[in-house]
Amino acid sequence: MLVAQFNLISAGVGALLALALITRREPDSWNWRFLGVLLLVSVATVSIMVLYETGWIENYPGLIGVHTPMAFLVGPLFLAFVAFSIDPSRRIQLTDTLHLLPFLVYVWWLWPVYTAPEHIKISATLNAFFNDSPGYQQTQLKHMLALLTHFGAYIAIAIFLINRAANRPVLPVIVWGAIGIWLVLAVRFVLDTFGNWTTAGTAMVVPSAISILLLLMGFISMRQQNSRHPNGPRYARSAMNREQAVALGLELQKLVKQQRLFLNSEFSLKELAAQSGHTRHTVSQALNDGCGLRFSEFINELRVAEARRRIITASARPNFSMLALDVGFSSRTTFYTAFRRHLGLTPSELWQQQESV
């Protein structure tokens, strides 16, 4: 009982953290909003798991089966958080909605359950869950295997994107938190598959472990989000004052432009610190606090300006995929997104305008 209460309290705290992330109004905060929605979905899923394990689900028949499709939103939301952290200028596209298909398929499959009379749902659920129905166990194992495969694939894609990105602002702890949740689910799946090791007591360990990981991810996310505010407490203890930060920020901008460091797709804040002879923290303060610049936005703006210069001076239509790589972008998609964000049109549209002049 105490473990169940801990899980529900943790879920409540996680929900408050999620709402705090979702309601932040800073620009380019879509990554934290996605993480907030991820936390909300996760705490809702954990809460319903607790209701099942304790038998309290019979008091809330409307929640029966709700957590099953919700679990398939975790992977897409986690990937969205990573993608928008790597490229804050990214915008949601129509093709992104395809990631919702597994969730929608599960909703369609369980629709008869959702629309069934309450007394039938309660009777069938309690009979299957507490009498260890073989059919129910097999269905649960198949569901768990599908979830592990689905979530594991999204984690792998996220790690791949992070490793490819020149700017890597995603906290390793958050990524490791997602991996930790996957491992907890995997251990539960193995124990249930190769032997009935899960008892009424140990079953509560799964939502407990997930609750702890979710709380860690939420608190660390809030701390990281606050530290990104240019005038926040991040630099409160720095020995460099505002005037010095402004001067160094201008010097760093000049260095990047003169040596054309932005053309390197692997160029990062760490590399700029090495090139300038300052610490990464000092460089970050000079750009953020001194000049009001975010490193990724500053670099992308220079890359877009260089791409624009090459397009308007070209004698023939450029190969835009090659141009994206030449000016430092890691992909054509990232190039087009940043280009439209800064100039309000795509590279192709700019070329067509130049042709018509």
The residue among 227 and 185 whose pLDDT is bigger is 185
Q: What is the mean pLDDT of the chain?
A: 78
Residue 189, CA atoms < 13 Å, CB-side half-sphere? 17
279, 137: one domain: no
Q: What is the CATH number of the domain that holds 83?
A: 1.20.1070
The least confident of 122-126, 279-283, 335-339 is 122-126
277, 215: one domain: no
The least confident of 6-10, 195-199, 314-318 is 195-199
Q: At what angle do helices 295-313 and 332-343 cross, to 10 degrees?
A: 90
Q: How many structural domains comprise the chain?
A: 2
273, 351: one domain: yes
The predicted-structure confidence for 253-289, as pLDDT tens digits, reads as follows 999 999 999 999 889 888 999 988 888 888 888 888 7
187, 290: one domain: no
Predicted TM-score (pTM) of the model is 0.59
217, 280: one domain: no
290, 192: one domain: no
Task: Single out the residue in 227, 261, 293 at which a domain terminates.
Answer: 227
The residue among 232 and 117 whose pLDDT is bigger is 117
CB 213 within 8 A of CB 175: no
64, 213: one domain: yes
User: Reduced to 3 states, what is the DSSP secondary structure of residue 238?
Assistant: coil
pLDDT range class, residue 329, cuts 50, 70, 90: very high
Q: What is the CATH number of the domain that holds 284?
A: 1.10.10.60
CB 57 within 8 A of CB 90: no
319, 189: one domain: no
The CB density around residue 351, as the number of other CB atoms within 10 Å, is: 18
The predicted-structure confidence for 292-319, as pLDDT tens digits, reads as follows 778 888 899 999 999 999 999 888 888 9
Is the pLDDT confidence value at 352 over 70? yes
